[in-house]
C-alpha cells in the first residue's frame, strides 16, 4: 500500500497498524510536494502499489482561513494529481481519499446523527477543499473507473497529535500546570460538542475500507456519540489530579464554529464490521501521558 502524508499524525498510526497486519508499505517521500504533478506521477508509477491511502493534506481548519489558496492547492489539486497518476497506471490502484466531516458544515440538532447523504455545506476553506477533493474522486470513479473510496472522518485524536488540535492543546496545558503547580487552562469554545474517535480506531477503519469498501461510496468514520469539550477538559484535569481555572481565549474561538457534530457510522459498520476498541478515557489518559512525557 502506498501511503501519502505518512509523516503526519494519522500517518504514523496507520504505518504502525499496517506493519502489525504485515502489509507491504511504500511511503510517499515526505519531502515530495503533492502539488508537484510531475513528481507525483513519477512516485506513484514507481510505487506500483495496489492500494493508496491518501492522507497528505493541509489539515488545519483554522489555518485554512489564513491561506485558502494553498489549502485548495494541496487538498484539492494534490488529490487531482494523485488520482490522475493512479488512473494512468497499467493496473490502477484502489484509492482511499481521506476527507473530513467538516464538509457537512453547520448542522442542527434535527440533523444528528449525520449520515453520508446529508448535503455538503462547507463553511471553512478547508471544508471546501475537501469537498472539491471528493468531487475529483467521484469523477475518477464514474468517468474512468478508478476504484475510489471516500471517507469523512469526524474529530479524532491520540498521542502525537499537534497541540493546535483541542485535546492535545488541553492536555499540554494541563501537563504544564501539573508540573508547575499553577496556571490556567486557555480554551476556545467550551460548549462545542464533538464526535471524538481514537486515531488507532480510525486507521483500522481506513484499512478495512480499502479492503471491503464499495468503490464510489463514501463512509463516515466516527463513533456515533459526541462529547462536550468542557467534559474533556474536566476529565483531563481529573486524570492529572489538578484543578485550574478555565479562561476563554477569543483567539482560540474559530470564526465559525459548529455547535455539535455527531455522525452515523452505520455504513462503515455494515461494510466492514468495524467497531471502536478504545474508550474515551483511555484515549484521554494516553494523550495526557504523552503530554507529560
Ligand atoms: O506539513 P507537514 O510537513 O507536517 O506534512 C504534512 C503532509 N503535507 C503534505 N505532503 C505533501 N505535499 C504537501 N503539499 C503537503 N502539505 C502537508 O501531510 C503531514 O505529514 C501530512 C498531514 O498530516 P497532519 O498535518 O499531521 O494531519 P493528520 O491529522 O495526520 O490528517 C491526515 C488526514 C488529512 O487529510 C486531514 O485533512 C484528514 O486526515 O483529517
**Is residue 141 in a domain?**
yes
* pLDDT above 90 for 189: no
Q: What is the pLDDT of residues 227-281, one digit of tens each?
A: 999 999 999 999 999 999 999 888 777 665 678 889 999 999 999 999 999 999 9
Number of domains in the chain: 1
Alpha-carbon distance of 263 to 242, in angstroms, equals 32
Question: For cell 466531516, what's the residue?
Answer: 101
3-state secondary structure of 26: strand
Instruction: Supply the pTM of this predicted model.
Output: 0.96
What does DSSP assign to residue 115? P
Check pocket membership of 158 for ligand 1, CB cut-off 6 A.
no
* Nearest atom, ligand 1, residue 11 CA: 30
Judge residue 278's burial from the number of C-beta atoms within 10 Å of its C-beta, 0-12 exposed, 13-18 middle, 19 or more buried.
Answer: middle
Q: What is the pLDDT of residues 16-62, one digit of tens each?
A: 999 999 999 999 999 999 999 999 999 999 999 999 999 999 999 88
- Cα torsion 218, 222, 224, 226 to 10°: value is -130
CB 82 within 8 A of CB 4: yes
Q: What is the pLDDT of residues 55-91, one digit of tens each?
A: 999 999 889 999 999 999 999 999 999 999 999 999 9
Question: What is residue 79's predicted lDDT score, i.e. its pLDDT?
Answer: 98
How many Cβ atoms are within 10 Å of 229's Cβ, its own excluded? 21
* Boundaries of domain holding 147: 2-158+197-225+260-277
What does DSSP assign to residue 81? H
**Is residue 215 in a domain?**
yes
Tell me the best of 3, 8, 44, 151 to mutate to test the pocket of ligand 1, counting ligand atoms within 8 Å of each CB and taking the most: 8
Dig out the grid coordinates for 58 from the structure: 493541509
Average confidence (pLDDT) over 206-223: 98
Alpha-carbon distance of 9 to 65, in angstroms, equals 21
β-pairing, 193-194 vs 227-228, is antiparallel
**Is residue 285 in a domain?**
no
Length of the chain: 293
Alpha-carbon distance of 28 to 45, in angstroms, equals 11
> Measured in angstroms, how far is the CA atom of residue 211 from the centroid of ligand 1?
23
Tell me the best of 9, 56, 99 to mutate to test the pocket of ligand 1, counting ligand atoms within 8 Å of each CB and taking the most: 56
Question: What is residue 116's predicted lDDT score, i.e. its pLDDT?
Answer: 98
Whichever domain contains 217, its CATH number is 3.40.50.720
CB 59 within 8 A of CB 8: yes
**Is residue 284 in a domain?**
no
CB 176 within 8 A of CB 163: no
**Is residue 127 in a domain?**
yes
**Is residue 54 in a domain?**
yes
> Measured in angstroms, how far is the CA atom of residue 5 from the centroid of ligand 1?
5
What does DSSP assign to residue 263? B
CB 27 within 8 A of CB 47: no
Check pocket membership of 58 for ligand 1, CB cut-off 6 A.
yes
Alpha-carbon distance of 13 to 195, in angstroms, equals 19
Question: What is residue 36's predicted lDDT score, i.e. its pLDDT?
Answer: 98
**Is residue 240 in a domain?**
no
Alpha-carbon distance of 277 to 232, in angstroms, equals 19
Q: What is the pLDDT of residues 162-181, one digit of tens each?
A: 998 999 999 999 999 999 98
Check pocket membership of 11 for ligand 1, CB cut-off 6 A.
yes
Q: Please calculate the CA angle 185-227-243 and round it to the nearest 5 degrees.
A: 30
**Is residue 121 in a domain?**
yes
Dig out the grid coordinates for 117 from the structure: 447523504
CB 190 within 8 A of CB 228: yes
Amino acid at each position: 500500500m502506498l501511503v501519502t502524508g505518512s509523516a503526519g499524525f494519522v500517518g504514523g498510526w496507520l504505518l504502525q497498524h499496517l506493519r502489525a497486519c504485515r502489509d507491504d508499505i511504500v511511503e510517499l517521500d515526505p519531502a515530495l510536494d503533492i502539488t508537484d504533478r510531475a513528481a507525483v506521477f513519477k512516485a506513484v508509477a514507481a510505487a506500483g502499489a495496489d492500494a493508496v491511502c491518501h492522507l497528505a493534506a493541509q489539515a488545519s481548519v483554522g489555518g485554512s482561513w489564513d491561506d485558502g489558496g494553498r489549502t485548495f492547492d494541496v487538498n484539492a489539486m494534490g488529490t487531482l494529481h494523485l488520482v490522475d497518476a493512479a488512473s494512468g497506471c497499467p493496473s490502477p490502484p484502489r484509492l482511499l481519499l481521506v476527507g473530513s466531516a467538516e464538509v457537512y458544515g453547520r448542522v442542527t440538532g434535527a440533523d444528528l446523527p449525520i449520515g453520508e447523504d446529508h448535503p455538503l455545506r462547507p463553511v471553512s476553506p478547508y471544508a471546501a477543499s475537501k469537498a472539491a477533493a471528493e468531487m475529483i474522486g467521484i469523477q475518477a470513479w464514474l468517468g474512468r473507473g478508478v476504484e475510489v473510496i471516500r471517507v469523512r472522518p469526524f474529530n479524532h485524536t491520540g498521542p502525537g497529535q499537534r497541540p493546535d488540535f483541542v485535546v492535545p492543546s488541553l492536555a499540554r496545558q494541563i501537563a504544564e500546570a501539573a508540573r508547575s503547580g499553577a496556571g490556567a487552562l486557555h480554551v476556545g469554545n467550551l460548549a462545542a460538542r464533538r464526535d471524538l474517535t481514537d486515531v488507532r480506531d480510525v486507521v483500522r477503519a481506513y484499512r478495512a475500507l480499502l479492503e471491503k469498501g464499495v468503490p464510489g461510496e463514501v463512509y463516515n468514520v466516527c463513533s456515533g456519540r459526541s462529547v462536550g469539550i468542557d467534559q474533556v477538559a474536566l476529565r483531563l484535569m481529573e486524570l492529572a489530579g489538578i484543578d485550574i481555572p478555565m479562561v476563554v481565549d477569543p483567539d482560540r474561538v474559530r470564526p465559525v464554529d459548529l455547535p455539535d457534530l455527531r455522525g452515523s457510522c452505520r455504513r462503515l459498520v455494515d461494510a466492514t464490521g468495524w467497531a471502536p476498541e478504545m474508550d474515551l478515557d483511555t484515549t484521554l489518559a494516553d494523550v495526557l501521558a504523552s503530554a507529560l512525557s
